[in-house]
Amino acid sequence: MQAKVLKNILSVNEEMAERNRGVLDSKGVFVINVMSSPGSGKTSLILATIRRLKGRVRIGVIEGDISSSIDAEKVSQEQVPVVQINTGGQCHLDAGMINRALDNLPLDNIDLLFIENVGNLVCPAEFKLGEDKKAMILSVPEGDDKIYKYPLMFTIADVIVVNKIDLLPYTEFDLEAFSQAVKGINQKAAILAVSCTTGQGLEDWVSWITSNLQPQ
């Protein structure tokens, strides 16, 4: 019974995600759904990307959080359009929330839209939002075993960004073993190692984005 209810919720969500895709495609907006645990660096990566693509790509951001608008305030300081969604306890964004947020964004003036999902490695993996690509961030201090604990998130990702690689010398994180584990369950995902603190690897991330952007 419970499985049936969840299936219905997901199919209603999927229809709305398709509708979002239609709107976003018609406006030529490329969308990346950014997912990770709390504190892995979603906002830091988005901010670093905005700074590197300034003047080249027009960026907008939807910030999802259970509560507060701290991240949205940080993003708006970069002079890009941002909409905050507070889920009021829900552990993920859904397509209906995104649909309402799109009404409050100047889509004609946006080439690339980041959706920062709620920090969680479980629920966001189940809910499509109408995105073009799913980016998953794993930070080094979380450990390289998360792929075994939350396999769905690693399976659906189009790109896996390992963040905070400046901390590698202080942890047991094995980047090579992690990459092999990813390839075992997801051959299509690009794996990028970065540090938003030092800037290392961010050029690869920016190249991954620009190579995916639709021709304007």
Residues of the shown chain interacting with Mg ion in the complex, contacts defined by CB under 5 A: 42-43, 71
State the nearest-atom distance from the C-beta of 46 to Mg ion, in Å.
8
State the nearest-atom distance from the C-beta of 98 to Mg ion, in Å.
17
Q: Which residues pair with 84 in a beta bridge?
A: 63
Closer CB to Mg ion, residue 43 or residue 49? 43
Closer CB to Mg ion, residue 42 or residue 58? 42
State the nearest-atom distance from the C-beta of 73 to Mg ion, in Å.
11
State the nearest-atom distance from the C-beta of 45 to Mg ion, in Å.
9
Closer CB to Mg ion, residue 82 or residue 182? 82
Count of residues making up the chain: 216
Closer CB to Mg ion, residue 33 or residue 186? 33
Token couple for 201 = 């690897």
Cβ atoms 140, 36 nearer than 8 A: no
**b/e code 113-140 from CB counts within 10 Å (16+ = b):** bbbbbbbbbebbbebbbbbbbbbbbbbb
Cβ atoms 27, 216 nearer than 8 A: no
Closer CB to Mg ion, residue 52 or residue 74? 74
Closer CB to Mg ion, residue 37 or residue 43? 43
* Closest residue by Cα to residue 34 from 136, 103, 122, 127: 136
Residue 192's alpha-carbon distances to 62, 119, 163, in angstroms, are: 23, 20, 8
* Closest residue by Cα to residue 161 from 145, 175, 151: 175
State the nearest-atom distance from the C-beta of 137 to Mg ion, in Å.
10
Per the listing, tokens 């690339």 go with 112
State the nearest-atom distance from the C-beta of 42 to Mg ion, in Å.
5
